[in-house]
Chains A and B, each alone.
Chain A
Amino acid sequence: MNPTENNSICPNVVDASCRVPLLALFGGAALWLVLGLVLGIAAMLSFHKPDLFADCPFLTYGHASAAANDLLLYGFAIPAALGVMLWIFARLSQSPLALPIVPVVAAHLWHVGVLVGTISIFLGNSTGHTWLEYPRGASVLLFAAFMLVAVSCVATMGFRVNRELYPSHWFLFAALLWFGWSYATANLFLIGHHPPRGVVQAVIDWWLTNNLLFVWLALAGVGIAFYLLPKIAGKPLASSGYALFAFLTLVFFGAWVGIPPGAPVPAWLPTVSAFAALLSVGPVVAIAIVTWKTVGGANVSCQGGPFCFIKFGMLSFVVSSLLYLGEFCPHYSCVVGLTWFNAGVTQWQLLGFAGMILCGGIYEILPRVMNRELPFAKLARVNFFLFAGGTLLFVIPLLIGGVEQGWKLSDAAVPFADTGAVALKFLRISTTGQLLVLIGALCLLLNILVMTIQWKLGLVKGAIAAVTAPLTTSEVKS
């Protein structure tokens, strides 16, 4: 389904137009990923040694865990996805990026917003709403930056040579629309001047959480995979009928999930969410079928390359989405509802799905837009195995520990201290996995950093060469 790029505009021109904005987005994203993982490990240390940060307000668990989660989502996943999306929109349009300076400005605004938000959390100025901890100033920066990138994406889409739309277009375009809408709604209602009374705040927060972690990540991640998988496999996306079904059901049903069973809200809300979660199994299965058919039989030896990253990411998408949707079934929720299981699923979505697809995308795209090989191609392959192994080692103990914790919590005869003790041994294994993911993230950061330095050195050398070059005779007057 992807366009054959054999018309007048050379792909090199398209790639080169994305160079600066993508470096700005990816570089910051990789840095925030490393920082987020370090903070995540620091947060977990509080469970291994509860008095470690007793005198240090900045790193107390409530601060470090919120900052770590926000860095993974707002610091890494969203800007990295925006970078890959910019390139895909330009490639699909077969035209250079429209307004290339706008996403560069946006990338810097975004990173400043993340920095301001993270510092605010450390200083104890979190808003207290899950996944919306950044205070007003930071949210405004993030929103403005996102809208700027969206303008550039949509303008590039408008200039497309071939008027046909591809499945990636649907998913990525909807992702642009939905983040702006849901993020603005949640911020205006929850951290505006007149927040609504009582439990409506929690409902809006759950709605936003679902829209970011499930719907948005799915739209962006699947949209990216539906472009890159066929491209690497060298054959068109299988069955765009299934893809259309997946897209429509995901946006129509997925956006209604989010209110957990048993929440202290009017009963119709969790009931609607449970039903929507059941219906949302449809798009997940459809996406799995499309991916399976596209990847199956592709003669690509990936050996830890981008193809491996994206395949693992799609597998993670299917598994983590099914686990996530299962949490909204009242039957399971009464066991795993308020346990580490939630955290495990969220980390799987963020690192196993979004993280994998985005890393694969970055490794695939960077050499093209920079027009040079990766400086440490081996480290990129090591990165895959560290990410894959580390993510599984990170999340699976949390899932099992969560179920066991849930069983004990739902039996009042078990003392409460035992429910924490049972989770503790799983948290220890899980922290080891986190460390592996962190080492993988360092490989990514190193590759991007060295590539940026090489490129800047190249620019300086070019400039020096241009200045010191002997004048050609034709330019010399008399």
Chain B
Amino acid sequence: MKTGFSVFLAALVAFGASWLGLVYGPLQQLGGAKETTVLQSGDKWPAQRTGAATLGLQVYQGNGCAACHTEQVHQTGAANVISITDLGSHKAADLRDFITSLMVVPELMNCSNAVTGNLAGWNGELPKVLYCGAQDTVVSLLGDKLKAVGVKTEPRVIATGADIARGWGTRQSVAADYLYDSPVPLGSLRAGPDLAAIGVRAPDLNWQLEHLYAPRSVVKDSTMPAFRYLFTVQKVGASPAPDALVLPREFAPADGYEVVPTAEARQLAAYLVSLKNNVPLYEAPFTPITAAK
């Protein structure tokens, strides 16, 4: 490092390598990405948003919602699940005894505690999860044994992890989910819950609007700031506005006034409702409940 040129050269090579690796490389790999296909279906993914929802992403961006909310579901693993869907001609108690007796089979001995634990106190409600774990042999073996006595079962693959258990999504988020997002609001802090599948959890536009106007009117412990500036409080005219919010007494404006969402609020709500990640993809497979029924 004796001359200015050698410093320049070292920095140029180091930074150039980083640029090639973390900017040019991802651009080549993903920059031209196209829609993918949903597993076991011909549907394209992701679906194009409606006009209002596309504008809603801009409202989300402009108000800095991503400062507190992430849109990325993490998954720690996957599990094989088998559940009973139809008892056939058997009674629940008899079936429980039968399954317990199966546990002496060498392949099933490892999971005998789990299965008998799942069955404890079962009085016949369906579907009943028998086993949820890593071993697919257990699932196929239990399925075969129960099929032989006329009991219908359903094997499934599900994603696991804290985010999935919280109900924030059915699988992890993958690159393909963000194809139509610009900017991509992944977020870096979960001061509020993850929103990658808020459209599945809360698909009602009016719920979203009410939640934006007065978060604590629908979620008691919420720490979200109210976004009253996205709404107009106006005098009720000859007849109430058709889109006026229906609010609980303590959150409602004074008598004779009504709360009407602005265009921005409606777009934001449309965007939130459009957020879903509930389809299986090649990179993130799982067995959807609807497909198995």
Contact = CB atoms under 8 A, between A and B. Distances in A.
B64 interface: yes
Contacts of A202: 178, 184, 186
30 contacts: A47-B191, A50-B223, A50-B226, A54-B229, A57-B229, A60-B225, A62-B63, A65-B64, A127-B61, A128-B62, A129-B183, A165-B4, A174-B11, A177-B12, A198-B30, A198-B176, A198-B179, A198-B181, A199-B184, A202-B178, A203-B30, A204-B23, A248-B10, A251-B14, A256-B17, A264-B175, A265-B175, A272-B21, A409-B162, A417-B222
Please classify how large the interface on chain A is, using the bins under 10, 10 to 19, 20 to 34, 35 or more.
Answer: 35 or more
A46 B162 contact: no
B30 A126 contact: no
B172 A264 contact: yes
A174 B13 CA distance: 11
Contacts of A164: 2
A173 interface: yes
B72 interface: yes
Most buried by B among A129, A203, A339, A409: A203
Contact of A339 (B177, B179, B186, B189): B189
Interface string A52-78: 111111001111011000000000000
Please classify how large the interface on chain B is, using the bins under 10, 10 to 19, 20 to 34, 35 or more.
Answer: 35 or more
A189 interface: yes
Interface in B1-17: 1-4, 7-8, 10-12, 14-15, 17
B48 interface: no
B241 interface: no
Contacts of A185: 19, 23
B9 to A, nearest CB: 11
B229 A56 contact: yes
A201 B224 contact: no
Most buried by B among A178, A202, A204, A411: A202
Contacts of B32: 197
Interface string A118-133: 0001001111111000
Contacts of A258: 22
Interface string B207-231: 0000000011000011111111100
B47 interface: no
A416 B183 contact: no
Given A256-B22, A411-B162, A417-B221, A200 B72 contact: no
Given A124-B63, A255-B15, A198 B175 contact: yes
B67 A181 contact: no
Contacts of B221: 417, 420-421
A262 B194 CA distance: 14
A259 to B, nearest CB: 7
A213 interface: no
Given A125-B62, A197-B32, A199-B175, 14 more contacts: A50-B226, A61-B68, A127-B183, A165-B1, A170-B1, A178-B11, A201-B182, A202-B178, A255-B17, A269-B22, A334-B76, A412-B165, A419-B190, A420-B192
Contacts of A126: 61-62, 64
Given A126-B61, A170-B7, A200-B31, A190 B183 contact: yes
